[in-house]
Amino acid sequence: MSSHIHSIASEVNIERLKRYVYAIEGLRHAWENYDTLEEKAKFIEETLRSFNLKVESQEVPFYGRTYRNIIATMEGIDEEKEWILLGAHYDAAWGSPGADDNASGVAVLLEAANILSKQKLERTVQFVAFTLEEPQPQTLNFLIGSNHFAQDAKRQKKRYEAVFILESVGYTDRAEGSQTVPFFVRMPVPKRGDFLGVIANRGSKAIMNAFHSIASEYVPELIFVSYKVPLSGRIIPETRFSDHASFWDYGYPALMLTDTAMFRNPHYHTHQDKHETLDFSFIVNVTKAVVSVILKLSNQNYLYLN
């Protein structure tokens, strides 16, 4: 099993990841750049279809317009086992080309889907590109697309063993002091911004441990910092700034996988968030970690989940 997972993870291709980032990058704020965002949705949809996955759109109504979550499903062999979901939002903040936030996450999503779609897995795996994650001028709410998805999943009584949300996973800075943390985080964190943050709540602690253990085994060159936030992040609101929080709110075990965004990246939510600033070797390793973890969890009753 170990050599098999290593072999599959080694298929991650840096040139494909770059192409995906370049294709998603660009002004695509949901309200301000509606037509461009729809073009990005079509690209994601067509790319997922090219992997022979079952792809559908989930309509998300918002102030007279219809937005779309793009859902690709890879059916597992065992219909009784709970599913795994890998997600990333594809909209960007107003005025930002959003290379790190979040073309990087979508690129990892697409590359993982490409590689995993060639495998036979016991668990069903869904790959979901969420819309309307970023703040919109009409409301104080955000995470609108993922909240719509998670609420509907709960209503349909869908069961997810693990939800992994990719949120800004492409920026590193190895200078001492480049990494900061939210005020209320009380744990030692490296001062260099070259690690992947793995963020969980209490209900997600088991999959956090599993992710850290598996990814450390198969991608030892990638540094991980895992953190379980108290009270589902309500006293540290910055830990709720992505789509994993929607799943927490509906009782699903979910992790945010992140380069920590504004706590490292000076280009966060600015016009300078461009692909030239990204560390594609880091993105490759994040993708290898995600692929390894999903392979392991899909085909075993992994100890940390029992």
- What averages of pLDDT result for each successive group of 10 residues across the chain (306 residues)? 88 98 98 98 98 98 98 95 98 98 99 97 98 96 97 97 98 97 88 97 96 97 95 87 97 98 98 98 98 93 46
Cα diameter, the chain: 51
> For the structural domain made of 2-305, what CATH number should be given?
3.40.630.10
Residue 212 tokens read as 């850290």
Residue 299: its pLDDT value, please? 84
**Strand arrangement, sheet containing 195-200:** 54-62, 65-74, 125-130, 83-89, 160-167, 254-258, 195-200, 223-228
Name the residue among 284, 247, 209 with its Cα closest to residue 16.
Answer: 284
What pLDDT was estimated at residue 1?
66
Task: Report the b/e string of 177-213 with b at 16+ CB within 10 A.
Answer: ebbebeeeeeeebeebbbbbbbbbbeebebbbbbbbb
CA distance 255 to 228: 10
Q: How many whole angstroms separate alpha carbon 71 and alpha carbon 73? A: 7
- Which pLDDT belongs to residue 301? 57
Angle (CA) 117-122-128 rounded to 5° is 45
Q: Is the dihedral of CA 135, 140, 143, 146 positive or negative?
A: negative
The predicted pLDDT at position 305 comes to 44
- How many whole angstroms separate alpha carbon 46 and alpha carbon 34? 18
| Domain residue ranges in the chain | 2-305
Tell me what pLDDT residue 304 has. 45
